[in-house]
Amino acid sequence: MSKPPYTITEKTADCLAKIVETVTRLEFGTGFKRDIKLHRENRVRTIHSSLAIEGNSLTLGEVTAVIEGRAVAGRQTEIKEVKNAYEAYDRIMTFDPYKVADFLKAHKLMTQSLVKEAGKFRSGDVGVFDGDVAVHIGARPQFVPGLIEDLFVWAKASSIHPVLKSAILHYEIETIHPFADGNGRMGRLWQTLLLAKWNVIFAWIPMESVLYENRPQYYKAIEDARKADDSGVFIEFTLAALYEILKNTNSDLLAAEQVTEQVTGQVTGQVTGQAGREEKILKFCAEPKTRGEIQVFLGITHREHFRAKILKPLLESGKLKMTIPDKPNSRNQKYVRA
């Protein structure tokens, strides 16, 4: 395939520079790569948003429930879409972005039990309609396999930055419209795949959430690019969306880490206080004391709290010992500093 028609605008170049800078900060200046909980949350956001763009009505909470295996009162086709998308994204790093066979395998995972031609290029014509008006007609079915093969050959050989390349492939997949259904989901999945192959943190960046929040602009960018026969406006929009989610993720993490530092400082103070309380108890128990005497000394009235949080740790650490160790529940039991 010859080079797809695209233009790199000044805004696109600026976004690319900011993306590279923000990714570096996110990777080396935060704990994002190690934050498994955030990875899971972002994956759910990705799936919810990508499906919602296509009309899936399940809420973020319901998508979470489906992924966690909990029952959801929703349409079975929508629940199946969630399960399929989760499986496809879960295997994302096993796909080669330049292999047509992997492209078809991913589509099968995404649409199995939902469409007749899951994992196969469409056998008929397809179009995108606004009411009765055709907004876009995909390539004739007999040309689809060759167009996708040529696109992937070009992408593999191209030295253009992977972030730009990912947006171009996303747009070209939407334009060729290779499948009877699932083209939007596959375009977004394949952009994420190319980004993740460049830097693995993109496997956990929910760019789709920004696209979902800006659906009218997303559709308009695709349409404007088609009218111009140049994906430049789509690349510009996509990179702006990507930068926005990266920037927000970075800011949220830094804010969370600041809170953690504050809490850590408070906990450190609490630990210091606990150490002081232990020292007081050990001095008080230089001579054997009953449990009640120690509680009165500390001003603690709740017996079980005292036993679990104060007395037991001191006994287990060997700092205190029982005067009658073979009868721990004896009414005559006392405690003395070891």
Average pLDDT over residues 182-205: 96
The pLDDT, as a whole number, for residue 134 is: 64
Highest mean pLDDT among 133-147, 217-231, 300-314: 217-231
The pLDDT, as a whole number, for residue 132 is: 65
Helix intervals (H) in 130-214: 144-157, 162-176, 183-198, 207-213
Which residue is listed with tokens 């496997």? 203
- Integer Cα distance of 99 and 14 in angstroms: 31
Q: How confident is the model at residue 302 (pLDDT cuts 50, 70, 90)?
A: confident
Q: What is the pLDDT of residues 239-286, one digit of tens each?
A: 999 999 999 988 878 676 555 445 444 544 454 457 778 888 998 899
The pLDDT, as a whole number, for residue 257 is: 56
Residue 288, Cβ neighbours under 10 Å: how many? Answer: 14
In the chain, what are the domain boundaries? Answer: 10-256, 285-337
Q: Does 34 score more than 80 pLDDT?
A: yes
Those residues with Cβ within 8 angstroms of residue 21's Cβ, 6 or more apart along the chain or in another chain:
none
Q: How far is CA 17 from the centre of its chain?
A: 23
Predicted model pTM:
0.74
Q: How confident is the model at residue 2 (pLDDT cuts 50, 70, 90)?
A: confident
Decide if 328 contacts 322 (C-beta within 8 A): yes
Decide if 19 contacts 246 (C-beta within 8 A): yes
Tell me the CATH number for domain 10-256: 1.10.3290.10
